[in-house]
Amino acid sequence: MTFNTDLPIIAGNWKMNGLNQSKKEIGSLLKKITNISKSNVILFPPFTIIETFAKLTENSGIFIGAQDCHHEDYGAYTSAISASMISDVNAKFVIVGHSETRTANNYTNNIIRLKAEAAHRNNLIPIVCVGESDLHRKSGDQFNFVKAQLEESLPQSTTRDNTIIAYEPIWAIGTGNTAATKDIVEMVNCIFSKLNSMKSNKKDIPRCLYGGSVNPSNSRDILSIENIGGLLVGGASLDSSQFSEIINLI
C-alpha cells in the first residue's frame, strides 16, 4: 500500500481520544467507506494505539500517523516520543505544529521545522500545520503570520512527495466556525505564492489541506476550492458515519 500523491488526502485527527476498544471503529469505518482507492485516508490516533491501528489497517487503504514527534531520535527527554519510535510501529505520517501542541508547549516555528526534519530522517511524511489566531485575523496580520510560519517551519528537504501542509485557522478549530470559502481561497493563494517564492521547482511544493470544523455538510465545498489537496478533520473523524461520509464524497 503506497501513498498516492495524486489523490486527495482525508486525514482524521483523533486528538486525546481513543482506547484499545476503539479498534472496532476501524472495522465500521472500513465497512462504510465505498471508495477507498479514490483518496489517501490517514488516521491519527493517540500514541498508545498507533501500533494496534497500524496492524489492523495493514493493506486496507487506511494509513496511520502520530499527532506529534520529538525533534531528536532518542535521548534523555522524559515523556517524549521520537519520529524513529513512530516509524518503528509502522506509522507513515506525523502531524507537526498543530496549534493545540504549539500552544500547550510553546513550540516555535524553528522547533516545528526540526520535528519535520526528524520525520523526514525517519521516513515519515509530516503534515505541517499553519494558521492564524482570531487576534491576528482581526488585526489584518493573518497573511504575514502564516507566511512566516511557512518560511520558518518547512525544512529545506521539503518536496511534494514528502511533506503536506495543513491550513487550520485557530479560530475555526473545534468551534463550529468553518472559515468562509472566500477566506480559505485568499489564504490558500497566499500560501502558494509564498511556496512558489521559496521553491523554484514545482515538485518541491507540497499540497495544502484545510482543517477547522470540517463536517459532512461543508466538506464538498471546501474540497472544490482550487489548490485544496484534502481535509484535516478533528471532531467529525471520531464518528465512523461522519468520517466515512466525508471520504465517500471524493
Binding flag, residue 13, ligand PGA (CB under 6 A): yes
State which residue, 33 or 236, has the beta carbon closest to ligand PGA.
236
Query: Which is closer to ligand PGA, CB of 179 or CB of 204?
Result: 179
Footprint (CB under 6 A) of ligand PGA, residues 157-216:
168, 173-174, 211-214
CB-count burial class (<10 Å; 0-12, 13-18, 19+) for 195 = buried
Shortest Å distance, C-beta 100 to ligand PGA = 7
* One-character DSSP codes across the chain: ----TTS-EEEEE--S---GGGHHHHHHHHHH-S-GGGSEEEEE--GGGHHHHHHHHTTTTEEEEES--BSSSSSS-TT--BHHHHHHTT--EEEE--HHHHHHHT--HHHHHHHHHHHHHTT-EEEEEE---HHHHHTT-HHHHHHHHHHHHS-TT--TTT-EEEE--GGGTTTS-PPPHHHHHHHHHHHHHHHHHH-SSGGG--EEEEESS--TTTHHHHHTSTTEEEEEESGGGGSHHHHHHHHHT-
Q: Which of 33, 94, 191, 233 binds ligand PGA (CB under 6 A)?
A: 233
Instruction: Please say whether the beta carbons of 168 and 131 come within 8 A.
Output: yes
Question: Is 97 one of the binding residues for ligand PGA (CB under 6 A)?
Answer: no
- Closest distance of CB 231 from ligand PGA, Å: 9
**Residue recorded with cell 468562509:** 180
Q: Which of 100, 117, 132, 168 is catalytic?
A: 168
Nearer to ligand PGA, 33 or 233 (CB): 233
Question: Which of 70, 98, 120, 136 is flagged as catalytic?
Answer: 98
Nearest to 68 by CA among 15, 108, 25, 22: 15
Which CB, 87 or 242, lies closer to ligand PGA?
Answer: 242
Does 25 qualify as catalytic in the annotation?
no
58 catalytically annotated: no
The residue from 235, 243, 246, 250 that contacts ligand PGA (CB under 6 A) is: 235
Nearest to ligand PGA of 8, 235 (CB atom): 235
Shortest spacing between CB 185 and ligand PGA, in angstroms: 19
For the CB of residue 201, give the shortest distance to ligand PGA in the complex, in Å.
29
Shortest spacing between CB 11 and ligand PGA, in angstroms: 8
Question: Is residue 41 near ligand PGA by the rule CB under 6 A?
Answer: no
Q: How many chain residues touch ligand PGA (CB under 6 A)?
A: 12
Sites of contact with ligand PGA (CB under 6 A): 13, 168, 173-174, 211-214, 232-235
Tell me the catalytic residues.
Answer: 98, 168
